[in-house]
Amino acid sequence: MKAVGQVRKRGPLSRTAIAELLDTSRASVTSIVGNLMEMNVLTEVGHGKSDGGRRPRLLDINAGLGFIAGVDIGATSVDLALADFRGEILERRSDVADVRTAPDQLLNTINDMVSEMLNQHGADDSHLLGIGMGVPGPVHFPTGVLIRPPLMPAWEGFPIKDFLRDRFPNARPVVDNDVNIMALGEASVGGGVGLDNFFYIKIGTGIGCGIIVDGEIYRGSDGCAGDVGHICVDYNGPICHCGNAGCLEFMAAGPAMAEKARLAAKNGEGKLLAKALKDKDGQLTSVDVGEAAAAGDQAANKIIEESGRMIGGVLAGLVNFYNPKAIFIGGGVSNIGHQFLSTIRQATLRRATALSTRSLQIDYSKLGSDAGVHGAIWLAIENTFALA
């Protein structure tokens, strides 16, 4: 970890502490810190405790260096935040969005919203120094280009970073898959603070996994690590949109739960589901399933338990392989209630080995729907200082 990264992660540090963390000489750190202070990246913020001699001067990130924008693009909405360089959110915005539209159209809307937030804080586009963006599709991380994104085909190969730089010339843009930024948000300010190894599972329209290894996002050799939604849970199951049979997300994610609920209602298997189907003009969501289950609808309970068991079975295999300290569950389907979490937890613990689950924590995300925008901010901060 570089000097700025250590200060960002641990808070104010002395030069000696930085040298020890980087396993380098005090003279080298003094030179590095001097350059960073000239650039106004680091600033002295007071004195630390004495170890017998003079009290050391502490260094922290200069929050007033400029602004950071965090952008979390979902299938139907976009969340934005403007933050300082310590990651403190200054302003939030949200708007409806349709990722099936042309990328320049949505990105122009996002750019305008970021400019408006900057203006609200007495700044202009030149004061934005970093942009972190999460998108619901597979990303080639070095270039920030989407590769065959199923939800947003018009975005394939689109140069998102270049488009953002045209509007914000002093900003360093970085783009990643949405579940990766959620995992980073959880690691930075959520339930994963202090944990070096954990999973973040997003369950919504699809199912994905952000993987934290030694405190960092693990993306794999091509940037597609964590695509657990396409692990097969039934070789004789229905054909997924990826072309394979019985994929986890096609059988257990939000749309699958909604479709099972619709069929159950039509077949007279759930009175509360049938009422919801009638009240909502033939359209149901996973949230409707959760509400029906909470009110005692047995068909809804069965649907939730089936999805939870399939997801838990896949997680058990991942736990046996990786042995994480925790699993955090987020995404839209995580809003359907405790029964869903309980079923996932039971299936995971039952099928994974005793040693791998001895201290395993399985819980909903502490940040909930805010995980993405927090992660986008920290993604931008980390990459803005990547060379420092």
* Boundaries of every domain in the chain: 3-61, 66-178+371-384, 191-366
| Candidate from 35-44, 174-183, 272-281 with smallest mean pLDDT | 35-44
Q: Report helix angle 160-167 to 103-120, nearest 10.
A: 40
Q: Determine the pLDDT at residue 39.
A: 79
Q: What is the mean pLDDT of residues 136-161?
A: 92
- Closest listed residue to residue 367, CA positions, set 339, 329, 336, 333: 329
Q: What is the 3-state secondary structure (H, E, C) of 156-186?
A: ECCCHHHHHHHHCCCCEEEEEEHHHHHHHHH
Res. 386 pLDDT band, cuts 50 70 90 = low
Q: pTM here?
A: 0.89
Distances (CA, A) of 120 to 76, 113, 115, 190: 26, 11, 9, 28
Q: Determine the pLDDT at residue 4.
A: 78
The architecture of the domain spanning 3-61 is Orthogonal Bundle (1.10)
Q: Which amino acid is at 260?
A: K
Token pair recorded at residue 309: 């068991």
Q: Determine the pLDDT at residue 385.
A: 65
End-to-end CA distance of the chain: 10
Is it the case that residue 85 has pLDDT exceeding 60? Answer: yes
Token pair recorded at residue 100: 């099936």
Is it the case that residue 359 has pLDDT exceeding 70? Answer: yes
Distance CA 334, CA 172 (A): 33
Is it the case that residue 210 has pLDDT exceeding 90? Answer: yes
Is it the case that residue 52 has pLDDT exceeding 90? Answer: no
Domains 3-61 and 191-366 alike in fold: no
CATH topology of domain 191-366: Nucleotidyltransferase; domain 5 (3.30.420)
Q: What is the mean pLDDT of residues 82-109?
A: 93
Q: What share of the chain is helix, strand, coil (3-state, %, to 5)?
A: 45, 20, 35
Is it the case that residue 387 has pLDDT exceeding 60? Answer: no
Q: Determine the pLDDT at residue 1.
A: 42
| Candidate from 18-32, 69-83, 212-226, 256-270 with smallest mean pLDDT | 18-32
The class of domain 66-178+371-384 in CATH terms is: alpha beta
Name the β-bridge partners of 248: none
8 or 249, which is more confident?
Answer: 249
**Helix or strand (DSSP H, E) at 199:** strand 198-203
DSSP secondary structure string for all residues of 32-96: HHHHHHHTTSEEEEEE---SSSSPPEEEEE-GGG-EEEEEEE-SSEEEEEEE-TT--EEEEEEEE
**Helix or strand (DSSP H, E) at 248:** helix 248-252
Name the β-bridge partners of 94: 79
Res. 238 pLDDT band, cuts 50 70 90 = very high
Res. 100 pLDDT band, cuts 50 70 90 = confident
Q: Determine the pLDDT at residue 51.
A: 75
Q: What is the mean pLDDT of residues 252-257?
A: 95
CB 330 within 8 A of CB 365: yes
CB 49 within 8 A of CB 17: no
257-314: pLDDT as tens digits: 999 999 999 998 989 999 999 998 888 999 999 999 999 999 999 999 999 999 999 9
Distance CA 366, CA 39 (A): 35
- Map residue 362 onto helix, strand or coil: strand
Q: Which residues contact 261 (CB under 8 A, 6 or more apart)?
A: 270, 273, 277, 284, 288, 289, 292, 299, 300, 303
The per-residue b/e assignment along 334-356, b for 16 or more CB within 10 angstroms, e otherwise, is bbbeebbbebbbebbbebbeeeb
Rounded to 5°, angle at Cα 175 from 172 and 177: 160
Distance CA 72, CA 178 (A): 7
Q: Determine the pLDDT at residue 388.
A: 45
Look at the block and give the residue holding tokens 């980087």. 22
**Helix or strand (DSSP H, E) at 361:** strand 361-364
Distances (CA, A) of 350 to 315, 337, 339, 353: 11, 21, 16, 8
Distance CA 284, CA 276 (A): 7
Is it the case that residue 132 has pLDDT exceeding 60? Answer: yes
Distance CA 196, CA 70 (A): 23
| Candidate from 12-26, 187-201, 302-316, 353-367 with smallest mean pLDDT | 12-26
